[in-house]
């Protein structure tokens, strides 16, 4: 399968993704029963995972979405990430962040620092994919769908240069 200039092959099927997603939801249903969690999906990548996960969550809960914008800071050479679009008051709430993938973990690290300033009761990470070999941050990922090797993937929300998010399966870059 080709997306733009690269060739990809199926890596995790839609059926496997859905099966694992339901297992994670079952755990969340048990562990957050009576906790009134607020799920926060990180756009764009998490939109499919968030939808399928929430269909299997059956405890009282809310879901909202935010975007992480990256911009070049004027005072530094590093990329700064900022959360955009949070409407809810998260003070004293149990937050579950829904991500498509944790790669270096830098995005999550920044987000958690920002969220902590808003005084939530707890923050948990739920990521469909996780590349342990790429991790450069100190993160505790509570729910992980699949641990994968340090190779580029796309589909099921994940993109290559904007394309491929609509694919039902997860694909891996062909060597
Ligand atoms: P991190 O800050 O390095 O953990 O990167 C997180 C973000 O990079 C994810 O939310 C994705 O949007 C993107 N990303 C990392 N690895 C991949 C990949 O293999 N395919 C597509 N996007 C990726
Ligand atoms: Mg993303």
66: which strand partners? 42
Number of domains in the chain: 1
Give kind and range of the element (H or E) at residue 133: none
Say if 126 falls within a structural domain.
yes
Say if 5 falls within a structural domain.
no
Active site residue 140: no
Say if 158 falls within a structural domain.
no
pLDDT digits (tens, 9 = 90+) for 70-123: 654 444 444 556 778 888 899 999 999 999 999 999 889 989 999 999 999 999
Q: What CATH number corresponds to the domain at position 56?
A: 3.40.50.2020
Say if 165 falls within a structural domain.
no
Q: Spot the catalytic one: 5, 34, 100, 103.
A: 103
Taking a 5 Å cut-off on Cβ, the residues next to ion ligand 2 are 45
Q: What whole-number distance in Å separates Cα of residue 53 and Cα of residue 128?
A: 10
Q: What is the pLDDT of residue 83?
A: 77
Domain extent for 30: 12-152
Q: What is the mean pLDDT of residues 151-170?
A: 96
pLDDT digits (tens, 9 = 90+) for 4-37: 999 999 999 999 999 999 999 999 999 999 999 9
| SS3 (DSSP) at 19 | helix
Say if 175 falls within a structural domain.
no
Copy the structure tokens of residue 56. Answer: 């299997």
Q: Is the pLDDT of residue 128 over 70?
A: yes
Burial of 101 (C-beta count, 10 Å sphere; 0-12/13-18/19+): buried
Say if 108 falls within a structural domain.
yes
Q: What is the mean pLDDT of residues 120-131?
A: 98
> Could you say which DSSP state residue 35 is in?
S
Helix axes 47-56, 14-31, angle to 10 degrees: 60
Ligand 2 midpoint to CA 168 (Å): 17
Pocket of ligand 1 (CB under 6 A): 45, 99-107, 152-154, 158
Say if 164 falls within a structural domain.
no
pLDDT band at 42 (very low <50, low <70, confident <90, very high): very high
Q: What whole-number distance in Å separates Cα of residue 171 and Cα of residue 74?
A: 37
């Amino acid at each position: 399968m080709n997306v733009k200039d690269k060739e990809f092959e199926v890596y995790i099927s839609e059926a496997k993704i859905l099966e694992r997603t339901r297992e994670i939801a079952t755990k969340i249903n048990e562990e957050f029963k009576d906790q009134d969690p607020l799920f926060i999906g990180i756009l764009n990548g998490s939109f499919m995972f968030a939808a399928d996960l929430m269909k299997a969550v059956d405890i009282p809960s809310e879901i909202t979405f935010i975007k992480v914008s990256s911009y070049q800071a004027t005072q530094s050479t590093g990329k700064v990430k900022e959360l955009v679009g949070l409407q809810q008051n998260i003070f004293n709430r149990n937050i579950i962040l829904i991500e498509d993938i944790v790669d270096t973990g830098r995005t999550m690290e920044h987000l958690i620092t920002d969220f902590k300033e808003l005084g939530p009761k707890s923050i948990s990470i739920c990521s469909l994919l996780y590349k342990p070999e790429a991790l450069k941050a100190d993160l505790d990922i509570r729910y992980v769908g699949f641990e994968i090797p340090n190779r580029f993937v796309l589909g099921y929300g994940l993109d290559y240069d904007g394309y491929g998010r609509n694919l039902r399966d997860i694909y891996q870059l062909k060597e």
